[in-house]
């Protein structure tokens, strides 16, 4: 099986969101192969379906005054940050096993991360780095799968590469809080690792901080595409952003800002 891989550069959130919806509809009709979109966003805070208002440390209006976009979206999970310097991967993929799909996305960013940070990287509902007695978040995954006879995913994963991290202080990223994570956010029967992370949460970090090195985004994108192919057992075929937009726009107006 082949997956089309498109590098969209830096693209605003709403344009990418609408593009995903179009690609999902096309994939459901069998008009395209699975697609992996690799990109960066200008500063945006997104809240998934499990977000509680208490997880927003400042109101959405204040976020926007500080230069961010705020969006409530259909994916699962809690609030997160996207910003330039963070790799975002959106997986438009036929999904017959949701759990396996989510595990695969997590494994994709894990394989990508450990090609740079060789030790102390931990998978748990995303990626963590263990340093000086604390767990630091630097990768996440969250998905939505369409209903109907042909279930297709959208949204996907993110990996903090070299992005500025201040906006993580505006939210409880993935539900965790430095001052102590409320027990109800960990589920009815949290496992030992969840409890440990909750008690030793240190905030956010990035690959550049972890490695104390400048990391080029193009290289991370290439490794992420390679990891995705290995995890899901597919071949990759590069498609230009222009060609992907042409395909997605058949019979409708194209997204504006691409």
| CB burial string 129-148: b at 16+ within 10 A, e below | bbeeeebbbbbbbbbbbbee
Angle of helix 217-232 versus helix 98-114 axis, rounded to 10: 140
Cα 57 → chain centroid = 21
The verdict on whether 174 is a catalytic residue reads yes
Catalytic residue among 88, 167, 174, 225: 174
- The position carrying tokens 């690792």 is 193
Give the DSSP H or E segment for 220: helix 217-232
Give the DSSP H or E segment for 137: strand 134-145
Angle of helix 13-28 versus helix 241-248 axis, rounded to 10: 60
Alpha-helical runs (H) found in 51-128? 60-65, 98-114
Alpha-carbon distance of 195 to 208, in angstroms, equals 27
* Secondary structure class of 46 (helix, strand, coil): strand
Q: Is the Cβ–Cβ distance between 141 and 157 less than 8 Å?
A: yes
Active-site amino acid positions: 174
């Amino acid at each position: 099986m082949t997956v089309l891989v498109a590098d969209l550069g830096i693209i605003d959130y709403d344009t990418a969101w609408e593009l995903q919806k179009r690609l999902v509809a096309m994939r459901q009709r069998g008009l395209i192969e699975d697609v992996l979109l690799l990109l960066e966003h200008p500063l945006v805070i997104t809240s998934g379906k499990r977000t509680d208002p208490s997880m927003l440390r400042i109101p959405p209006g204040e976020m926007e005054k500080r230069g961010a976009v705020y969006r409530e979206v259909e994916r699962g999970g809690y609030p997160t940050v996207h910003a330039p310097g963070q790799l975002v991967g959106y997986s438009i993929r036929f999904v017959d096993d949701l759990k396996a799909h989510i595990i695969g996305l997590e494994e994709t960013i894990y394989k990508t991360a450990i090609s740079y940070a060789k030790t102390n990287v931990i998978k748990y509902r995303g990626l963590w780095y263990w340093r000086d007695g604390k767990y630091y978040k630097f990768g996440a995954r969250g998905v939505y799968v369409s209903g109907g006879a042909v279930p297709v995913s959208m949204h996907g994963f993110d990996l903090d590469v070299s992005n500025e991290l201040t906006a993580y202080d505006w939210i409880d990223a993935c539900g965790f809080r430095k001052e102590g994570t409320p027990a109800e956010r960990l589920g009815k029967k949290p496992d030992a690792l969840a409890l440990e992370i909750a008690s030793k949460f240190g905030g956010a970090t990035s690959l550049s901080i972890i490695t104390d090195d400048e990391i080029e985004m193009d290289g991370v994108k290439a490794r992420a595409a390679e990891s995705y192919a290995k995890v899901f057992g597919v071949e990759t075929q590069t498609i230009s952003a222009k060609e992907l937009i042409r395909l997605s726009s058949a019979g409708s107006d194209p997204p504006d800002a691409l």
